[in-house]
């Protein structure tokens, strides 16, 4: 990378934000008519989530949202990316909207705007209404149609306030962890259902984009967020290079192909032909999916290292949970390896070069499409000391190094428009329950007290200066007063 440590000033229009997801922070799982999502059911199933944790209360954001928007204001962020809970605003998944549920997001949005914070809405962050799962879930085409209807309801409610929209967050996780390996809700383990789900998530995205365009002002921005995998081969051998190609197809191109290029990659269809003939893709589907986008959301945490493998399926060290079932259909001859280097509490390798390389690939493959980093961050074993402070120098190092990679990509020609730190708050981390802390604000779950970590003070300085050079010292920010405790 070409970054000079002394000159890391981001463009003046660069958007600094933070992000959360509804099920991870809202709580109020049974209030105001909200019905169960697939994550409510999955988390209440014994053995699925560490310690039996659920999102029933989470960070209680549903009741404490004013406190949380005040924290964002103290952080100096220009934007807040949050997701709308589908079962909160359309409890049956396919019936009438809940005005009480929509009113919660209206109040949140209005308060953000009052504070000068741009609301960025994600329509789907994994909380499919259980009613729709019982009707077949994402492997069924009708779910995509219901998603477009839901998108229209939310657009009608918030379209006069919200200018930036995201259809799906990380559809790879929804399809392949939810229906392939079963380590995410709804916990199903059928590789064909995983591929069917991937297609219907793609279709739901395209239909939702059209529904949004039909209802939003002309200046509204519409996007999708993908957790693009930066896949590296273990060696330069032809077999390892082919293993990387195969995983890249399942991780990335099965989504970017139809969404951005208008067709499913031929090699992905050939690789999975022993499982399915892809007849669930109907004539005209890829045209419906391939809708123009205003930018691409990219989530990045760690790279993926693979090699060719002969014999029985190899132990899978892909960082996506432990299961007897693979999230990689028809890829049993691929082995996954832990990349070298320091790790986060999730066990994920810290590798900012992977982010730089990924952004440069997007620039190469889709040079006209701007990018937002919609998630980037790290979990560490944070704790509050006797003085009630949370020092997290590892997170500051992580953020600084990854933002240096983003800056280097911009210098090298990547059109990166903004960065959303994951996450604002410690929260419910899916299958890990409350055992992993990603927030820059510490949450004491017993009392729901919010304590800004040292990284929150660091990020507040960065959002105001726009310069990494101004916040290179960890010690200079741990005693700052930019961010006040929530009580």
Indicate which residues carry an active-site annotation. Answer: 170, 375
CB atoms < 10 A from the CB of 249, how many?
Answer: 22
**Contact (Cβ atoms closer than 8 angstroms) between residue 199 and residue 280:** yes
Helices (H) and strands (E) in the chain, counts: 16, 13
Neighbours of 305 (CB within 10 A): 23
Residues 6+ apart with CB under 8 A from 473: none
Residues 6+ apart with CB under 8 A from 437: 345, 379, 380, 381, 382, 426, 429
- Give the residue from 376, 382, 369 showing the smallest Cα distance to 402: 376
DSSP states of 154-223 as a string? HHHHHTTT--EEEEEE-HHIIIIIIIII-SSTT----HHHHHHHHHHHHHHHHHHHHHHHHHS-TT-EEE
Residues 6+ apart with CB under 8 A from 386: none
CA distance 129 to 58: 18
> Long-range contacts: 436-443, Cβ < 8 Å, 24+?
436/345, 436/346, 436/379, 437/345, 437/379, 437/380, 437/381, 437/382, 438/377, 438/378, 438/379, 440/18, 440/75, 440/377, 440/392, 440/395, 441/71, 441/483, 441/486, 442/382, 442/384, 442/390, 443/59
Say how far residue 302 (Cα) sits from the centre of its chain. 13
Give the integer Cα–Cα distance in Å for 431 and 434: 9
CA distance 185 to 78: 32
């Amino acid at each position: 990378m070409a970054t000079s440590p002394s000159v890391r000033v981001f463009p003046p229009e660069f958007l600094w934000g933070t992000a959360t997801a509804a099920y991870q922070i809202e709580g109020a799982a049974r209030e105001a008519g909200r019905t169960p999502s697939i994550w409510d059911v999955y988390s209440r199933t014994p053995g699925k989530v560490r310690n039996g944790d659920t999102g029933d209360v989470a960070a209680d954001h549903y009741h404490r949202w004013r406190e949380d928007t005040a924290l964002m204001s103290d952080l100096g962020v220009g934007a807040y990316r949050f997701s709308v809970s589908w079962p909160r605003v359309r409890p049956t998944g396919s019936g009438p909207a809940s005005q009480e549920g929509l009113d919660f997001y209206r109040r949140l949005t209005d308060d953000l705007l009052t504070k000068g914070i741009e609301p960025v809405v994600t329509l789907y962050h994994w909380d499919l209404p259980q009613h729709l799962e019982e009707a077949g879930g994402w492997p069924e085409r009708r779910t995509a149609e219901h998603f477009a209807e839901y998108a229209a309801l939310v657009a009608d409610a918030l379209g006069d306030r919200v200018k930036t929209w995201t259809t799906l967050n990380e559809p790879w996780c929804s399809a392949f962890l939810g229906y392939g390996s079963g380590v995410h809700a709804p916990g199903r383990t059928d590789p064909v259902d995983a591929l069917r789900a991937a297609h219907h998530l793609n279709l739901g995205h395209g239909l939702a984009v059209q529904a949004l365009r039909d209802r939003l002002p002309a200046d509204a921005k519409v996007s999708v967020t993908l957790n693009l995998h930066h896949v590296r081969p273990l060696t330069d051998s032809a077999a390892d290079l082919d293993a990387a190609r195969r995983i890249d197809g399942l991780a990335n191109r099965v989504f970017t192909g139809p969404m951005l290029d208008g067709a499913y990659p031929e090699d992905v269809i050939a690789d999975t032909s022993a499982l399915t003939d892809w007849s669930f893709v109907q004539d005209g589907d890829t045209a419906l999916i391939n809708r123009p986008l205003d930018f691409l959301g990219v989530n990045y945490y760690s790279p993926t290292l693979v090699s060719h493998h002969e014999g029985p399926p190899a132990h899978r060290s892909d960082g996506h949970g432990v299961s007897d079932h693979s999230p990689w259909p028809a890829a049993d001859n691929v082995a996954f390896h832990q990349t070298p280097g320091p790790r986060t509490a999730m066990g994920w390798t810290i590798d900012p070069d992977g982010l730089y390389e990924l952004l440069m690939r997007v620039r190469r493959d889709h040079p006209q499409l701007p990018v937002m980093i919609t998630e980037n961050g790290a979990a560490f074993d944070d704790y509050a000391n006797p003085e009630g402070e949370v020092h997290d120098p590892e997170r500051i190092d992580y953020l600084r190094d990854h933002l240096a990679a983003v800056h280097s990509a911009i210098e090298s020609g990547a059109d990166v428009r903004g960065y959303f730190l994951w996450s604002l708050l410690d929260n419910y981390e899916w299958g890990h329950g409350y055992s992993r802390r990603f927030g820059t604000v510490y949450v004491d779950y017993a009392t729901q007290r919010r304590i800004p970590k040292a990284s929150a003070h660091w990020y507040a300085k960065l959002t105001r200066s726009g310069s990494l050079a101004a916040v290179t010292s960890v010690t200079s920010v741990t005693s700052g007063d930019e961010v006040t405790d929530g009580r």
